Structure 1
């Protein structure tokens, strides 16, 4: 899976309550950009642009069976 495919999977699998679009309340305010709520180990939440997720954050949000697919793998 490509990075874009992974991000699309995360976006579509995330409940509406934990995703949205950037507005004035998001530190990296970019109108219309997609944001997700990310939680720390301590339980606090923060909003982050979907496109700014690190590889570790992407791996954490993906189901186990999709975490280690190579970029060239074809989605079934």
Structure 2
């Protein structure tokens, strides 16, 4: 099942399945490590600020909630 990255709970890991952003944002996210098949782990979610932190390899990236809606992921099985 594919769902938006914003639905991933803290501590959960999934794989990037698809990015549905505009081309410029898609390139930016790709440079940050959001590429097809890459594992991504949610390490922090702020309910008040609308920011979340995700681990991609050895990098931690902070992203706004509106952007995480454009990154579709698939749970690891």
- Per the normalisation by structure 2, the TM-score is 0.35
| Rg larger for | 1
Report the TM-score, using the length of structure 1 for normalisation. 0.35
**Which structure features the higher share of strand residues?**
2
Structure with bigger helix share is: 1
